[in-house]
Amino acid sequence: ARRRRGRLTDVVDQLIAETARGVAAPVDGTEDLLESYRPREGAAPAAYDEAVDETGAPRPPYADVVAAFQRLGTRGLRQRDYAIVDLQRADGVTFRLRDQPQPQVFPVDLIPRIVSASDWEHISAGGEQRARALDAFLRDCYGEGAIFADGVMPRELLDRAPGYRSSGRLGGPGVRNHVSGLDLVSDGPGRWRVLEDNLRVPSGVGYAIAARALMRRFVPEVFPRGIRPVRPVPELLRDTLSAAAQGGAAEPGEIAILSSGPTDSAWPEHTGLAEAMGVDVLTPSQVWFEDGRLMRRRAGRPAQVRVAYLRMDEDLLLSAGGRDGQPLGAGVIEALHRGTLTLANALGNGVGDDKAVYTFVPHMVRYYLGEEPILDQVPSWLCADADSREHVLGHLGELVTKPIDGHGGLGVLIGPDATYAQVAERRREILANPERYIGQELVDLSTHPTFDGNALRPRHVDLRVFVHLRRRSGTRETEAISMPAALSRSGAEGSRIVNSSAGGGSKDTWIMTDGEER
């Protein structure tokens, strides 16, 4: 426990649990890991557990998986868990938490999450639809602004959106939303809702790939047939980046991941993806501009970067100094104007992450695509609107309230879990700056078994799905592709906030194929 998270309280909790209940191996060689599992333990009364039914028995898709783990028992699971943590630490698979000065091992839980083929068909179709609509919105809001002129969205929404930047007009023709991450939650069998969109630097696909490799290595006996492989993801990402270049597809040597460096919380993901794609990861201090082109050194010689996969904050990029000591901002602007550089994702895409803009995505789907939304989203209210604000203030103790520019769970207040003082403070904040907040209906996030070192415990989970957009070769048509690697994140004990920055963990996500689900 100390190696995993660095918290002494985890060690104490584990010691108490072990000495209280004992860890002796059963006589028959199997152990009922679900004996003390309570699906609703630490969850909302209506929470749905994806793997265990109300009687405490595994649901059919999980029967074989649970049986395999029963044979390993608590002791065997703990040994595998320790081995995974040690390898992660040796390989540097870490993530920096908000409240921790040093990066910690990015937890990978041993109990995989299963997404059925029918659920995945629904999720991928809805995610691809949503990504196309948001891409159309980004091009429109930085272009003609037809959606505002036609009264579908209020233009003043952009005045309050922190992610809306004048630099967004430099996106150039074609796709802007090359890689998007959609966070989904489930509140029942086959019921999925979009919680938020990530269009700036959506992270996590590298950790999903790493989780599969760890599971394959340390618990190979649990894998059934019919799981979609994650191996194609790096090649698919490289193809998406290659197609983003203007004037013809870019070669691998002309593609680079642009990162702020080892201090970035997702630096291990940046380096891992670069290695898997056969491209380099660069920091601002390693690049410069020459004759309107972004340059770097490759094999000891200057070489052009035509596509930069942007995995750092755009303000940091524009203000940073390059290899030659000159600020990069002016060079980026010139290169984007000339078409010698494509940034994926484009500058200004943060407006699509905005929680207020989120409320209008269903309208975007109908307006730009002429289709009905496939995926539902969480009912939301804009506090900038007087009627909506009155509703939110009247139900603060029942709703979730968020700042429109929040990320990683920052500023989120869950009404039923909040104290009277916290609710009162949020009321004051909304009254002082109503345009900064939205209210959302509280979703009873599903739970999933998580091994805590001693037993299986229910923890809330969400699902990050990755969608790529690219132009079809030789055409002006845009195609959308869902990656076969999704990141399942589990919350900390007693928390409904599920994300990596708040100390949650991850799970290997098994996306099943037709006819092979068990």
Mean pLDDT of 305-332: 96
Q: How confident is the model at residue 299 (pLDDT cuts 50, 70, 90)?
A: confident
Report which of 202, 204, 3 is spatially closest to residue 88, judged by C-alpha positions.
Answer: 3
- Domain range annotation of the chain: 115-196+212-372, 379-440
CA dist., res. 337 & res. 345, Å (int):
16
Mean pLDDT of 214-227: 93
The domain over range 115-196+212-372 is classified in CATH as 3.90.1170.40: no
Domains 115-196+212-372 and 379-440 share a fold: no
Mean pLDDT of 253-276: 94
Do 263 and 287 meet the contact criterion of CB atoms below 8 Å apart?
Answer: no
pLDDT tens digits along 387-420: 999 999 999 999 999 998 866 567 899 999 899 9
For residue 319, the surrounding DSSP H or E stretch is helix 314-319
Q: How confident is the model at residue 439 (pLDDT cuts 50, 70, 90)?
A: very high
Q: Among 250-254, 291-295, 349-353, 409-413, whose mean pLDDT is lowest?
A: 409-413
**φ/ψ of residue 325, rounded to 5:** 85, -5
Q: Among 91-100, 253-262, 268-277, 485-494, whose mean pLDDT is lowest?
A: 91-100
pLDDT at 294 over 80: yes
Mean pLDDT of 356-382: 96
Do 103 and 94 meet the contact criterion of CB atoms below 8 Å apart?
Answer: yes
Residue 353, amino acid: D
> What confidence score (pLDDT) does residue 25 get?
44
> What confidence score (pLDDT) does residue 27 get?
39
> What confidence score (pLDDT) does residue 505 get?
84
Q: Is the dihedral angle over the CA atoms 111, 112, 113, 114 positive or is it negative?
A: negative
> What confidence score (pLDDT) does residue 205 get?
96
- Cβ-in-10-Å burial (0-12, 13-18, 19+) of 83 comes to middle
The domain over range 379-440 is classified in CATH as 3.30.1490.270: yes
